[in-house]
């Protein structure tokens, strides 16, 4: 595939950060057996990865801003461009020695994501996309799966956990997908969930309670692979809405229908009004 100079900058930054994470991941696997545990080590690995990305991307485009997990919003002199970066997506997996984690870099231009890179160093999988240029995994062109009905499909999601997310709401959603699909999967790394949809490994994906850096790069990779990406209510995708749904045209529509049914069932069970979903 032909890569722009800008995409090459993103790839080089992601791979440099990924190599450091690979070294740290080996140490985490050793620490896993200790009583002290590797939590502090993983936090340091996350921060080191973010520092690598910040330095590499700033060197290439010093006027551009950032949205980063640790640093937050870093204003740049160029108001049109900013990097949206997750230095370690799948931290809990990393913490437990599970090789499903990634570095994620999205480029936002005038409010739209125009390029994305997601790198899983443990599996040596590099997902890239630029607007209008297609999506690729290690130079192989990606297309979303062509399945047409939910009973044939494996759908990915994120599952709320202790102290996070809407547990009752998720149970309504999961019940619907359990009854209508070939299976539900949870990788624990939103960027890779999106990339797996782009690669046709998953047929669709939905999640609530996510951050912009979780989905910026993956969203354009899905779109450039021929998929549809929106908010979970079917409205235009917004990086900062905290939710996402995607799939090919038919499966994306079916995912939205199941989410709407789940919301309606929850309202009915709680005696809520027709407008909005109760908390």
β-sheet bridge partners, residue 206: 157, 245
pLDDT tens readout for residues 153-184? 999 999 999 889 999 999 999 999 999 999 99
pLDDT tens readout for residues 15-68? 999 999 999 888 876 655 444 455 555 678 889 999 999 999 999 999 999 999
Domains of the chain: which residue ranges? 5-141, 150-270
pTM for this entry = 0.92
Largest CA distance in the chain: 56
Question: Residue 145 pLDDT > 80, yes or no?
Answer: yes
pLDDT in the model for residue 277:
44
pLDDT tens readout for residues 182-230? 999 999 999 999 999 999 999 999 999 999 999 999 999 999 999 999 9
Instruction: Tell me the DSSP string of 166-215.
Output: -HHHHHHHHHHHHHHSSEEE--S-HHHHHHHHHTTSSSEEEEES--HHHH
The domain made up of 150-270 has a fold known as: D-Maltodextrin-Binding Protein; domain 2 (3.40.190)
Mean pLDDT, to the nearest integer, of 81-94? 95
The domain made up of 5-141 has a fold known as: Fructose-1,6-Bisphosphatase; Chain A, domain 1 (3.30.540)
């Amino acid at each position: 595939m032909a890569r722009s100079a800008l995409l090459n900058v993103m790839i080089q930054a992601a791979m440099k950060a990924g190599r450091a994470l690979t070294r740290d991941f080996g140490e985490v696997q050793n620490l896993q057996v200790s009583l002290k545990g590797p939590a502090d080590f993983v936090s340091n690995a996350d921060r080191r990865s973010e520092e690598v990305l910040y330095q590499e991307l700033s060197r290439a485009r010093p006027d551009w801003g950032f949205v980063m997990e640790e640093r937050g919003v870093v204003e740049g002199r160029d108001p049109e461009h900013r990097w949206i970066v997750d230095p370690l997506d799948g931290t809990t997996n990393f913490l437990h020695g599970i090789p499903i984690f990634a570095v994620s870099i999205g480029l936002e231009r005038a409010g739209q994501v125009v390029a994305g890179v997601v790198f899983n160093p443990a599996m040596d999988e590099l997902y890239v996309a630029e607007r209008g240029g297609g999506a690729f995994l290690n130079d192989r062109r990606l297309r979303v799966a062509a399945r047409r009905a939910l009973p044939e499909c494996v759908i990915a999601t994120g599952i709320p956990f202790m102290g996070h997310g809407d547990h009752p709401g998720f149970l309504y959603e999961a019940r619907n997908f359990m009854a209508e699909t070939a299976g539900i999967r949870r990788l624990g790394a939103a960027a890779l969930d999106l990339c797996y949809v782009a690669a046709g490994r998953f047929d669709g994906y939905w999640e609530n309670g996510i951050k912009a850096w979780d989905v910026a790069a993956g969203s354009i990779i899905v779109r450039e692979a021929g998929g549809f990406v929106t908010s979970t209510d079917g409205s235009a995708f917004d990086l900062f809405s905290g939710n996402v749904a995607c799939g090919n045209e038919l499966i994306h529509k079916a995912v939205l229908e199941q989410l709407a049914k789940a919301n309606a069932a929850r309202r009915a069970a709680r005696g809520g009004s027709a407008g909005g979903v109760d908390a």
